[in-house]
Amino acid sequence: MPMLDLHDLPISAFIAPDGSNRQAVAPLLEQALQLALDYAAQASELPPLPTAMPGLPGTALPEQGLAEEQLLAHLRSLISASLHPAHPGYIGHMDSLPTTMSLVGDLLSAVLNNNMLSVEMSPLFSRLEWTTLRELAQLFGLGPRAGGLLLSGGSLANLEALAIARNQILGLSGGALTSLGARPVLFASAAAHTSLHKAAMLLGLGSQAVIPVPVDESGHLDVHQLPTLIEQAQARGDRPFCVVATAGTTVAGVIDPLAAIAAIAHRYDLWFHVDAAYGGALIFSEQLRPRLAGIEQADSLTFNPQKWLYISKTCAMLLLRDTSLFTQAFRIPVPYMRQSEAQGEATDDTPPNLGEIGLQGTRHSDILKLWLSLQHLGRRGYARLVEQTCQLAMLAYTRLRTLPALRFAHPPETNLLCFRAEPDWLPAAAHDELNARLQSALLEQERIFLSLPLYEGRRWLRAVLLNPYTDEQVIERLTTGLARLLEQERQQHDSSQAPGR
């Protein structure tokens, strides 16, 4: 019998650690599992995006808790009104269906409810994270002192990378920016992710401290302009400290010339950060990893397994070439935590308290689902996923190029394809709206969802071919659907231009 009077609580409010309510909890968990499986195994029958938005279930705090049946019924309607990234026609964003081991890992992480803040609070998971990320750092070729930690998203990983770069290069860990007497600046391509600007703002540098390097005609950071921009900043009295290259740009999926950028960054004694949030997954494929040549020279690297490794959200990492810099340029000890003996050297088997060297304090044990998925699919499994989805993007590129009205941002370098309709029978000023109409019609008529990003000042259609169940038939539907819609658009346009109208 518990000491507290738990009478006002539902009997299944917690799983009693003495097993006394096991019988009552089991049906709830079984029904929830059934619901999850029923949903996941039929996701292709739902539209990729919900078509109507039903009212929210009541959100007022009830005086008396609701019955489990009622909550399960609410869950059913919440599920049907959610986004369905598992649908093979959902190819608009960098979201995919999660690995099965992600679900297993998330469930067990919640049951165990360890805390990645410190070794004391997650003795095994802290070690699992430290050693697994050390392995991944080796896969990226970052060298014997490399390793890292997980964070809740690539934006946080980029933020911590820039904080470490700033502190290390400008010697700022304890001091204030004002002591510099100069504005610290960094360089990234004009197509780099906005999280860098957010990070610069949060670090007190101002979002304009990210100096945009123009991209060349293939969407890559233009390495010829980078030295000039660095020297111009120095001549103005600014303090350059970092160059960021992107491996897999968010909109077009292209990979900056990493080796050439690394050489320039190091020539000017700047930190070299690679934002490989998306494209980092190519490292798993022997065949495709040469596309990341130069990544092994990164001082820091962001990689999001929540994207192309199919780990459920969130799961992102920051890797450092030298893990002792976590301690030197970032660590603030937590006084209420038993100190780990480890100094955070990658060669140590005992990790430091990860919450002291990481941006986040209390943190979910995302490592469990990542480790389980890596062990379950293996390097070969991931290589296959990466290679086959890249092949699918090439197939889509080949098929869509048969439509003369389409223009492509760039040939695919990952599994992303960015294109827009620019038919010559319609004035250029009307092309953005045409592409928006095509996006809506594809969703309605073909159940294919493409996103509509703004890139170089125009609206584009973007396909992210992540889902392993998106096949040639989807590409065929996309191609024939677009051909039909463009023909309808042309006929409507012609009839609106006909004399007498």
Interacting residue ranges for ligand PLP, rule: CB under 6 A:
94, 153-155, 158, 193, 195, 246, 250, 275, 277-278, 304, 316
CB atoms within 10 A of CB 283: 24
Question: What is the smallest separation between the CB atom of 279 and ligand PLP, expressed in angstroms?
Answer: 8
Q: What is d(CA 190, CA 213) in angstroms, rounded to the nearest whole number?
A: 6
Question: What is the smallest separation between the CB atom of 189 and ligand PLP, expressed in angstroms?
Answer: 11
User: Quick one: 307 or 447, whose CB is closer to ligand PLP?
Assistant: 307
Question: What is the smallest separation between the CB atom of 313 and ligand PLP, expressed in angstroms?
Answer: 8
User: Quick one: 94 or 465, whose CB is closer to ligand PLP?
Assistant: 94
Question: What is the smallest separation between the CB atom of 164 and ligand PLP, expressed in angstroms?
Answer: 16
Q: What are phi and psi of 91, to 5 degrees?
A: -130, 35
Question: What is the smallest separation between the CB atom of 215 and ligand PLP, expressed in angstroms?
Answer: 14
| DSSP 3-state of 324 | helix
User: Quick one: 205 or 277, whose CB is closer to ligand PLP?
Assistant: 277
User: Quick one: 282 or 434, whose CB is closer to ligand PLP?
Assistant: 282
Q: Which helix (H) or strand (E) holds 80?
A: helix 68-80
Question: What is the smallest separation between the CB atom of 156 and ligand PLP, expressed in angstroms?
Answer: 7
User: Quick one: 316 or 448, whose CB is closer to ligand PLP?
Assistant: 316
CB 161 within 8 A of CB 192: no
Q: What is d(CA 359, CA 354) in angstroms, rounded to the nearest whole number?
A: 9
Question: What is the smallest separation between the CB atom of 157 and ligand PLP, expressed in angstroms?
Answer: 8
User: Quick one: 156 or 486, whose CB is closer to ligand PLP?
Assistant: 156
Q: What is d(CA 1, CA 299) in angstroms, rounded to the nearest whole number?
A: 56
CA-angle at 86, arms to 58 and 95, nearest 5°: 90
User: Quick one: 195 or 353, whose CB is closer to ligand PLP?
Assistant: 195
The residue ranges of DSSP E strands in 357-491, in sequence order, are 406-408, 416-421, 454-455, 458-459, 461-464
User: Is the peptide bond between 314 and the residue preceding it cis, with omega within 30 degrees of 0?
Assistant: yes
Q: What is d(CA 189, CA 219) in angstroms, rounded to the nearest whole number?
A: 9
Q: What is d(CA 216, CA 227) in angstroms, rounded to the nearest whole number?
A: 15
User: Quick one: 161 or 421, whose CB is closer to ligand PLP?
Assistant: 161
Question: What is the smallest separation between the CB atom of 464 and ligand PLP, expressed in angstroms?
Answer: 10
User: Quick one: 153 or 361, whose CB is closer to ligand PLP?
Assistant: 153
CB 346 within 8 A of CB 147: yes
Q: What is d(CA 64, CA 43) in angstroms, rounded to the nearest whole number?
A: 34
Question: What is the smallest separation between the CB atom of 163 and ligand PLP, expressed in angstroms?
Answer: 15
Crossing angle for the helix pair 154-170 and 195-202, to the nearest 10 degrees = 50
CB 487 within 8 A of CB 423: no
Biggest CA pair distance of the chain: 88
> Residue 316: is it exposed, middle or buried by C-beta count within 10 angstroms (0-12/13-18/19+)?
buried
Question: What is the smallest separation between the CB atom of 202 and ligand PLP, expressed in angstroms?
Answer: 13
CB 110 within 8 A of CB 358: no
Residue with tokens 């990658």: 346
Question: What is the smallest separation between the CB atom of 167 and ligand PLP, expressed in angstroms?
Answer: 21
CB 353 within 8 A of CB 118: yes
Using Cβ positions, the residue closest to ligand PLP within the complex turns out to be: 154
Write the CA distances from 100 to 15, 36, 107, 308, 370, integer angstroms: 24, 11, 11, 15, 11
CB 214 within 8 A of CB 222: yes
CA-angle at 243, arms to 240 and 247, nearest 5°: 170
User: Quick one: 255 or 434, whose CB is closer to ligand PLP?
Assistant: 255
User: Quick one: 226 or 254, whose CB is closer to ligand PLP?
Assistant: 254
CB 307 within 8 A of CB 315: no
Picking from 302, 16, 372, 351, the residue whose alpha carbon sits closest to that of residue 159 is: 302
Question: What is the smallest separation between the CB atom of 306 and ligand PLP, expressed in angstroms?
Answer: 6
User: Quick one: 148 or 154, whose CB is closer to ligand PLP?
Assistant: 154
CB 460 within 8 A of CB 453: yes
User: Quick one: 304 or 435, whose CB is closer to ligand PLP?
Assistant: 304
What token pair was written down for 9?
């609580």
Question: What is the smallest separation between the CB atom of 94 and ligand PLP, expressed in angstroms?
Answer: 5
